[in-house]
Structure 1
Amino acid sequence: MTTVLIAIFVTVFDQLVKWIVVSHMELGETIPLIRNVFHLTYILNPGAAFGLLPHQDWFFLAIVAVLFVAFFVMRKRIPEKPFYFPAAVGMLLGGALGNGIDRVRLGAVVDFFDFRIWPIFNVADIFICLGVGLIAFYFWRHSE
């Protein structure tokens, strides 16, 4: 249940933040929060991380579908402890779904966090990275 609740929270939070960005900024607009270090820059990314594989929406949506099928098939085998493991799976699923919703609605993903030395990203991307990192940490700690 933790996994599903976290996935729902991440998806809703991601979509809410993206809605705020789209509602209050023009496409391409940048707002410096820390000049030349951290800006909010509204872009539509047609690819994956770093803009890789642009306009491959069906491929990315297929990955989201595979993640959810794998979750539903394996859900009873997800360990409840440590707490971070089911939470990590929820973060990964919620982030994937958040970006998947953008791909269906817009044909691209809304990105806006701009550190100037790194590609622009969004809330879903943060949770995907956290989820994958925590899952990797779990398997590193529990490998035999």
Structure 2
Amino acid sequence: MPFIALLLAAAEVAVDQILKLLVVRNLMPVGTVTLIPHFLSLQYLENRGAAFGILQNRQWAIALITGIICVFIVVAMFRYQERTKLFMTVCTLILGGGVGNILDRLLRGYVVDYIHFHFFPFIFNFADICVVVGVALLIISLFLPSHEPKTEENHA
């Protein structure tokens, strides 16, 4: 199962990088394209920070932290014995999104963002969506009942 998850994460990275390439080639020259007035637009942005614009111009630090998290995820995917589909989905989403944005930081010096919902003040990209959905699923999974059988050791 970990190898399939790694292939899916690589596919995420490929989709992310293709979308960003299309954005750089087609959206950068025009800046903004409105898709749904007063709701959704594509807007070219070079994000030199982390989520929500924090840690501006600290690309190497952000890339290093993200890289460490990605290595931790890959190790967990192979070593953790209780690999559920939800666990592997969380790992795949966070890993693919993290690597997609690391590539931008290392190759461009910034992350290409382009999705702007007008009711939300920030502009983001496909990789960001993958990470946010992965983290949301992780948080939700913490509240799901465990399928682990209860034993005397669990009650101690």
TM-score using structure 2 length: 0.84
| Residue of structure 2 in register with 1:121 after alignment | 124
Flag structure 1 segments of 5+ consecutive residues without an equivalent. Answer: none
Relative distance call for 1:29 and 1:135 in structure 2 (3 A) is same
Task: Say if 1:59 and 1:36 are closer, same or farther in 2 by CA, change over 3 A.
Answer: same
Q: Greater RCO between the two (CA within 8 Å, min separation 6)?
A: 1
How many pairs align? 143
User: Which of residues 55, 58, 61 is equivalent to 1:56?
Assistant: 58
Q: Identify the match of residue 111 of structure 1 among 110, 113, 116.
A: 113
Name the SS of the counterpart of 2:107 in structure 1: helix
Helix, strand or coil at the partner of 2:44: strand
Which residue in 2 is equivalent to 1:102?
104
Greater displacement, 71-80 / 26-35: 71-80
- The percentage of counterpart residues that share the same residue type is 32
CA RMSD of aligned residues (A): 1.8
Task: Supply the distance in 2 between the matched residues of 1:93 and 1:11 (Cα, whole angstroms).
Answer: 9
CA offset digits 1:36-84 (Å, max 9, x no partner):
2110001101011211111111111112221132124322206332x12
2:68 aligned partner: 66
Q: Which runs of 5+ in 2 are unaligned?
A: 147-153
- Of structures 1 and 2, the larger Rg is shown by 2
Q: TM-score, normalised by structure 1?
A: 0.90
Q: Which residue of 1 aligns with 2:151?
A: none
Contact 1:79–1:86 (8 Å) recurs in 2: no
* Residue 117 (structure 1) shift: 2.6
